[in-house]
A and B are shown apart, each in its own frame.
Chain A
Amino acid sequence: MTGLAGVLSQPFLRYAFIAGAAIAAASGLAGYFVVLRSQVFTGDALSHVAFTGALAALAAGADLLVGLYGACVLVALAMAALGARGRADDTVIGSVFAWILGLGALFLSIYTTSAAGASAVSGVNVLFGTIFGLSAAQAVIDTAVAGCVCLALIVIARPLLFASIDEAVARARRVPVRLLGAVFLGLVGVTAAAATQAVGALLLLGLLAAPAGAAQRITTRPFRGLWLSAAFAVASVWAGLLIAYAAPKVPPSFGILAVATGIYLAALALTGNGRSA
């Protein structure tokens, strides 16, 4: 316990633990619905957009957070609007994403060549996260935003669950299915933007998918799965942070993803291959 107290006496670690837990809880809750609604792909899309949005803001001389949240929420809402008829196939979506990432590479190079003192570090940070680099102000913002996302998700959890599992019946029972879907995607966008700072744009898909996938393997009861998913995500972040703290050469994002993947593998091994979620 003295070791843990030692860890928490460092301000940057305290920020990382608190903000990381909030972000992880939001990712776990949102991820559960993302996997349930077969929208993992949306998470993938948002990770590309998060990178390009953040670097576009940097290249334009604005604050990184503005670009990050702006791009993620806008694209999430646009995807909700396209929603039903936008069932484009793999090649189209993949081409668009590749181009968005190409734009991100352009903004990265504009930023690194134009701004004085800027280096490729910021680009790498957006890609792979900087949870140990959070300032006090950032930690407060992230914790508040992620906390609000958690609350909102818990409030809409019951109707959203209904709409996700049986859309037709939910619609017949006057559940506002389309509105719920749009609100949910907006929340996923906010979560993606917050998670980008913790684990990076490239890895946020893992934080959305792995804990939720593991939870759905272990239990088929929805609310238990929801809490389990959030718990797995928080556990991954904390354990990953401790690993990164103990072994300074290991980036925290890798620690987080390794623990999350380990939990998923354990869930797969425990439940065997026969049972599907």
Chain B
Amino acid sequence: MSWNIVADVRQLFLFSFMVNALRAGTIVAVAAGALGWFMVLRRQAFAGHTLAIVSFPGAAGAILVGISATVGYFTAAIAAALVIAAVPRSADGRARSGESAIIGTVQAFALACGALFVSLYGGFLNGLTNLLFGSFLGISPSQVVALLAVATAALAVLAVIARPLFFASVDPDVAAARGVPVRLLSGVFLVLLGCAAAEVSQITGALLVFALLVMPAATAQQVTARPMASFWLTIALGLVVVWLALAAAYYSVYPVGFFVTTFGFAAYVLAAAGRAAAARSRRLRLAATPAGSTA
């Protein structure tokens, strides 16, 4: 590291493993930003979290039986998304305490299965921390192609359903009355979310998917309330966070998962603080001119 920015940036592209990592990170950031934006809008953050956690035993199991971890990530996350979509919606009517016990049990059991597969496979402890906390070393060109193919397919489907999905997310009752197939859309969206969660897991690790799936979207929705603006801002923020984190991880010994979460969280805190400050100055201005105050 020489503090000569041009040389430093050029050095990032010297090694093919780093180029692969940057490509993969870019693909994942775009897919995660687009689907994460809808996820935050629909308040399904915990569904995303569960999908990512389930992808961990998927990857560990795939390694155990000798197929590629990428296949395991996608299979497990998409299967879990289908299961969640198939379970009849009971969020409103039933006692919530029982339901959260189920979610907690399922998550813990999925993680325990992952631990079992890793233990059966025998001694790859570094592999275990990589599965959980992410690694950008050793992303192969074929993995980049797989990420790109899945991301393109998911984004294409999202582009087709974006308008009715937005409608159904903002006001499900009115959308249903207008003949929008709310239930079907929600199922399709969960499958897309499963794809995104599986993609993010491969960069940040299964435990830290929130960094790319939730934080950019939450930050953008703090900054602006206009849907289109915050959507594009989400993707831009995701890209910046991933690129900065990969560069930081390249020049340090610390794991990429730490940098992704830290940069994402810092952006969120800055946005929230900025919004709070703006709201306070507006209140002060209103207080200074009592005639104009309506509140």
Q: Which residues of A contact B (CB under 8 A)?
A: 35-38, 40-41, 43-44, 89-92, 94-99, 101-103, 105-106, 108-110, 113, 119-121, 123-124, 127-128, 200, 202-210, 212-213, 216-217, 249-251, 253-254, 257-258, 260-261, 264, 276-277
Known: A205-B108, A213-B105. 13 other contacts (CB 8 A): A40-B101, A94-B49, A95-B214, A98-B261, A98-B265, A102-B261, A105-B134, A106-B258, A202-B207, A203-B112, A209-B100, A210-B101, A277-B95
* Residue among A41, A99, A206, A216 with most chain B CB within 10 A: A99
A61 CB, min distance to chain B CBs, angstroms: 18
A250 to B117, CA, bound (A): 9
Point out the residues of chain B lying under 8 angstroms from A205, CB to CB. Answer: 104-105, 107-108
The answer to whether B43 touches A89 (Cβ under 8 A) is: yes
Residues of B in contact, count (CB < 8 Å): 56
Q: Is B113 an interface residue (CB 8 A)?
A: yes
The answer to whether A102 touches B211 (Cβ under 8 A) is: yes
Point out the residues of chain B lying under 8 angstroms from A41, CB to CB. Answer: 100
Name the residue on B nearest A217 (C-beta): B98
The answer to whether A95 touches B101 (Cβ under 8 A) is: no
Name the residue on B nearest A102 (C-beta): B261
Q: Is B254 an interface residue (CB 8 A)?
A: yes
* Residue among B96, B107, B205 with most chain A CB within 10 A: B107
* Chain B window 203-216, contacts with chain A (Cβ cutoff 8 Å), 1 for yes, 0 for no: 00101111100110
Point out the residues of chain B lying under 8 angstroms from A43, CB to CB. Answer: 104
A244 to B96, CA, bound (A): 34
Closest 3 CB pairs of A and B: A206-B108, A102-B261, A213-B101
Q: Which residues of B contact A (CB under 8 A)?
A: 40, 43, 45-46, 49, 94-98, 100-105, 107-109, 111-113, 115-116, 119-120, 122, 125-126, 128-129, 132-134, 205, 207-211, 214-215, 217-218, 253-255, 257-262, 264-265, 268
A sample of 5 cross-chain residue pairs with beta-carbon separation below 8 angstroms, ordered by A number, consists of: A35-B101, A102-B258, A103-B262, A203-B108, A213-B102
B281 CB, min distance to chain A CBs, angstroms: 23
B99 CB, min distance to chain A CBs, angstroms: 9
B136 CB, min distance to chain A CBs, angstroms: 13
Point out the residues of chain B lying under 8 angstroms from A257, CB to CB. Answer: 108-109, 112
The answer to whether B98 touches A216 (Cβ under 8 A) is: yes
The answer to whether A249 touches B111 (Cβ under 8 A) is: no
Asked whether A209 and B40 contact (CB < 8 A) given A95-B218, A119-B125, A261-B109, the answer is: no
Point out the residues of chain B lying under 8 angstroms from A110, CB to CB. Answer: 254
A261 CB, min distance to chain B CBs, angstroms: 5
Name the residue on B nearest A248 (C-beta): B119
Asked whether A99 and B100 contact (CB < 8 A) given A105-B208, A249-B119, the answer is: no
A102 to B134, CA, bound (A): 10
Asked whether A40 and B254 contact (CB < 8 A) given A101-B207, A102-B208, A260-B105, the answer is: no
The answer to whether A251 touches B116 (Cβ under 8 A) is: yes
